Structure 1
Amino acid sequence: MDQNLKGWYTERSPMWPGQAFSLKVDCKLLHKRSKFQNIEIFESTNHGKVLVLDGAIQFTERDEASYQEMITFLPLNAHPNPRKVLVVGGGDGGVVRELARHPAVEEVVQCEIDEEVIEACKTHVPSMGCGFSNPKLTLHTGDGAKFLEETQEKFDIIITDASDPVVPDEGDEGTKDGPAVSLFNEDYYVKMKGKLAEGGILCCQGENMWLHADLIMKLMNGCREVFPVVDYAYTYTPTYPGGQIGFILCSVNPATNFKEPLRVWDHNKANEMGLKYYNAEIHRASFVLPTFMRNHLTLTN
């Protein structure tokens, strides 16, 4: 907790220099060091429970649906029959929680590197950790890139819900590779393609266009050499740096149109499913990029 602002948690990082974000804290629930990272959970005054990994906010209960639902339903509703899904990362349980809501999904496999994050969310944030009770789920703990190398299974959808590739170094004056660094390179996308079934789709956490445009462009250009269809979408998450985070979507099916959902749920169905953010209109709008980012990615209408 920032001692210069007593009673508040302040997120400051060399990953987004010159800016900071603060939340008022009611009480600390957990602060520990796992084999891979620092884990903090606290109850905030206005945003519910908050998970912080290596100094970066991963979710708040108030706005997590804007991320969890979009990273899940953008790829699933672009696939005609997404029966089998692999989740790499997602240790908070949010993605597997959303997968349980989707009527087409029959089997979910997850590989998360840090089992202590899983246990922390199951214990302290049941609104997220409830995802691990999904009866369709088979859970593995270990490195996601290595899991992809070793598994013989094929998947209709692969979702990579990763934390940032770099984390603050000692003293918060620089950065170092984090546990998810292996999930942000072109080789990883090639590995994923090899594990997609016919017509398969992948969706990966795609960083922030205001802060990481060069990294996004590098990954997108690499994906275009591997996949016939590549696109970029984004969502608004107020408690993430810049208030926004994106998704890189790739398909091995040349006919895939990510911008047009194959399933459209009406308002009653969305409420019945417990959705808070995702709908067909948001799906379509998430691919409409601001001019600077469209130019950066050399995308056209």
Structure 2
Amino acid sequence: MSLIESGWFREMNDQWEGYSVGLKIDKVLYEGRSDYQDILVFKSSSFGNVLVLDGCIQCTERDECCYQEMIAHLPLCCHANPKNVLVVGGGDGGVVREVLKHDSVEKVTLCEIDEKVIEVCKEFLPDMANSLSDSRCHVHIGDGVQYMKENKNCFDVIITDAPDPIGAAKGLYELDYYRCLKAALKPNGIICSQGENLWLDLPIVEKLLTGCRSLFPSTGYAFAGMPTYASGQIGFVMASTNSDLSFNNPARTFTDEMVNKLDLKFYSSEIHKAAFVLPTFAKKVLFPKSGTQKNGVVHDRGT
């Protein structure tokens, strides 16, 4: 659906009718196909190297910090003592890089089905992919659902770095997938999944949160600005088996000194709290009057 024309990359998607995202190309660095998807890497004129999978922008060197930091630190800072973390997807290594910034983490497992993505990112996006060589990181090449079925009650935090719900990725947005996530968590575990955007994908977000509320006693939704993603914004679906957890009130906070030490470019404890304050149009849909909203989090008794 996406195309390269007159020196520009344009991401177009039937999911977002009448809308596209464009970046000017300086040089195509890699173009090929793995067993699973088309892979493109190009150097843009304004956002550095760009990774594109099946025509959809996954990350750029300039703004990847927003997505990687938020999807990692939102759940990890809400957990009192995260030791064992699973990342499903995210072969670029950016999420793993951020997870490893937490001293309490003893092991992070990256479950990536497409080994070629890892190989390409090690060459063209080393600031992210180099994290996969850390001694605390275990890389598992295979299907994330099957891996979780074989490793139940194992993880303090599970992060799903999912692409958009197109083709095979649709399964990562279904209730059965979230049942697998719940079964793989330790008591009081937390999940955080790529949650699309409020402007173009609100029905999908509503479906995700409705499903989560049927499984987890605590659910929440945060969002952040992301210039190279569709609508310039990305969201994060969060859920926990801990009924007393409030996602916008992190269990562990970062001082300014810690933010600098950890080389954080986007996330801070203030950003964390603010990310759960939703615009009115989204709040009305995602937190209907029938639910009980407290501190930006819906608390329902899961089944």
User: What RMSD, in angstroms, separates the aligned Cα atoms of the two structures?
Assistant: 1.3
Aligned partner of 2:220: which letter?
A: D
Look up the match of 2:297: none
Look up the match of 1:275: 264
Look up the match of 2:52: 52
Look up the match of 2:82: 82
**What per-residue deviation string (whole Å, max 9, x for no partner) do you get for residues 266-300 of structure 1?**
22211111110000110000000011111111254
Runs of 5+ in structure 2 lacking a partner?
Answer: 295-303
Look up the match of 1:247: 236
**What per-residue deviation string (whole Å, max 9, x for no partner) do you get for residues 154-203 of structure 1?**
1000000011120xxxxxxxxxx13x222110111111111111110000
Matched, 1:35 2:35: yes
Deviation at 1:150, TM superposition (A): 2.0
Runs of 5+ in structure 1 lacking a partner?
Answer: 167-176
Look up the match of 2:209: 220
Secondary structure in 2 matching 1:81: coil
Deviation at 1:2, TM superposition (A): 4.3
Deviation at 1:220, TM superposition (A): 0.7
CA distance in 2, matches of 1:209, 1:91: 25
- Check the 8 A contact 2:152/2:183 in 1, yes or no: no
Secondary structure in 2 matching 1:103: coil
Q: TM-score, length-normalised on structure 2?
A: 0.92
Deviation at 1:151, TM superposition (A): 2.3
CA distance in 2, matches of 1:134, 1:163: 25
The count of residues paired between Structure 1 and Structure 2 equals 289
Look up the match of 2:285: 296
Matched, 1:183 2:172: yes
Deviation at 1:153, TM superposition (A): 5.6
CA distance in 1, matches of 2:89, 2:202: 22
Look up the match of 1:173: none
Look up the match of 1:171: none
- Check the 8 A contact 1:94/1:131 in 2, yes or no: yes
- Check the 8 A contact 1:72/1:95 in 2, yes or no: yes
Aligned partner of 1:197: which letter?
A: K
Q: Which moved more, 1:5-14 or 1:188-197?
A: 5-14
Aligned partner of 1:21: which letter?
A: V
- Check the 8 A contact 1:96/1:134 in 2, yes or no: no
Look up the match of 1:122: 122
Aligned partner of 1:42: which letter?
A: F
Sequence identity of aligned pairs in percent? 48
Look up the match of 1:67: 67
Look up the match of 1:258: 247
CA distance in 2, matches of 1:266, 1:228: 30
Aligned partner of 1:219: which letter?
A: L
CA distance in 1, matches of 2:256, 2:104: 19
CA distance in 2, matches of 1:238, 1:200: 31
Look up the match of 2:102: 102
Aligned positions of 1:200-215 closer than 5 A: 200-215=189-204
Deviation at 1:152, TM superposition (A): 4.4
Deviation at 1:14, TM superposition (A): 1.3
**CA 153–257 in structure 1, closer or farther in 2 if over 3 Å, else same:** closer
CA distance in 2, matches of 1:89, 1:198: 23
Look up the match of 1:170: none
CA distance in 2, matches of 1:192, 1:2: 35
Secondary structure in 1 matching 2:96: helix
CA distance in 2, matches of 1:153, 1:121: 31
CA distance in 1, matches of 2:153, 2:123: 31
- Check the 8 A contact 1:87/1:161 in 2, yes or no: yes
- Check the 8 A contact 2:152/2:185 in 1, yes or no: no
